[in-house]
Structure 1
Amino acid sequence: MTNLVLDLFRLNNRMLTSGDRLVAGLGLTSARWQVLGTVGASERPQPVAWIARDMGANRQNVQRIVNDLEKEGLVAFAANPHHRRAQLVVLTEKGRETFAAAMRLQAPWASGLANGLEMREIETAHRVMKALLHKLEGSEEAGEQA
């Protein structure tokens, strides 16, 4: 298990570096791309704290990225009827276009990564990663309740 975890750390670092290179021409980084994707995938606008939770990320880091994205016109803040101070984050048209452009770059990149792998291998790896994520999220929730 230790070797798997160490390799996952290395893989994560390489994926982020590769993702940074892939979307650099769009003015994005992997982190900005991930935030745009999380905002875009939400069924309804969410405050930064909820976006961070969905990403499994630190709220302060996500806030910093959202603030940068807002300055660049990729996201906007909207009033939150349930909480005066926790504004909702929404994609702008420019943000939707930039995210769509990133995903057009991502498709052939992901296909290249999958080249030579069997679908069942990818599905098995995905199941293992989701099971580990579920266990880690469960242990974090248990720690919060203690």
Structure 2
Amino acid sequence: MPEPALDPDELAERLAGIYLVVGPLYRRVLRLVERDGAEDGVPAGLRAVLDLLRRNGPMTVPQMGRAQSLSRQFVQRTVNDALGSGLVELVDNPAHRRSRLVALTGEGQHRIDAVVGREHAQLREVGGDIGAADVDACMKVLTRMLAALDDADIE
């Protein structure tokens, strides 16, 4: 039997508590990515772009910006840096002649695979009694919170 939904005021209070955990978690992960990325030459912004391409395949700059809630200009600067480093390349977009797709090169794939491998090694240390249902519930709540912020038009 499903658990009853919380009263909206209680839900709001409990969801606010999530921000108190997610904020420090994000900042700590960002510091780790920046520290480890300095060794590889993969700062956090570049890591985000490379991982997005690793997960989704070739994308346009505007698609990447929307997917990460980042400005198109920031993504474009990051892509330009990645192009200069040989980590990504521009390929024809069959859906749109003028908007090219950004794709990982072999070196870009190798670099992001190494970063993700280190991150997964760190995540394997989480341990505890976390089950698939726990992770699914966490993703459900965080995804709904993100969608509510999208609806708030705060960009």
TM norm. shorter chain > 0.5: yes
TM-score using structure 1 length:
0.79
Of the three residues 77, 83, 86, the one matched with 1:73 is 86
Number of residues of Structure 1 aligned to a counterpart in Structure 2 = 140
Query: 1:12 Cα deviation (Å)?
Result: 0.6
Question: Is the partner of 2:90 in helix, strand or coil?
Answer: strand
Give the alignment partner of residue 74 of structure 2, picking from 61, 73, 78. 61
CA separation in 2, counterparts of 1:126 and 1:23? 29
CA displacement at 1:123 relative to structure 2: 4.9
Identity of aligned residues (%): 28
Find runs of 4+ consecutive structure 1 residues off by over 4 angstroms. 141-144
Give the drift of 1:9: 1.1
Task: Give ranges in structure 2 of 5+ residues lacking alignment.
Answer: 1-14
Structure 1 residues 101 and 76: alpha-carbon distance in aligned structure 2, compared to 1, 3 A threshold: same
Structure 2 equivalent of residue 132 of structure 1: 142
Find out whether 1:25 has 2:48 as its counterpart.
Answer: no
Q: TM-score, normalised by structure 2?
A: 0.75
- Report deviation, 1:59: 2.3
| Inter-CA distance 24–7: structure 2 relative to 1 (3 Å threshold) | same
Q: Is the 8 A contact 1:22 1:106 kept in 2?
A: no
Which runs of 5 or more structure 1 residues have no equivalent in the other structure? none
CA distance in 2, matches of 1:36, 1:125: 24
- Name the counterpart of 1:37: 51
Which has the bigger relative contact order, CA under 8 A and spacing at least 6? 1
Task: Write the distance in 2 (CA, Å) between the matches of 1:132 and 1:41.
Answer: 19
3-state SS of the aligned residue for 1:131? Answer: helix
Q: Which is helix-richer, 1 or 2? A: 1
In structure 2, how many angstroms separate the alpha carbons of the residues matched to 1:8 and 1:90? Answer: 30
State which of 88, 93, 104 in structure 1 corresponds to 2:106.
Answer: 93
The 3 A distance-change label for structure 1 pair 143 and 29 is closer
CA contact (8 A) 1:23 1:105 kept: no
TM-align CA RMSD: 2.5
Distance 1:12 1:23 in 2: 16
Q: Which amino acid in structure 2 is aligned with residue 118 of structure 1?
A: D
Q: Is the 8 A contact 1:70 1:76 kept in 2?
A: yes
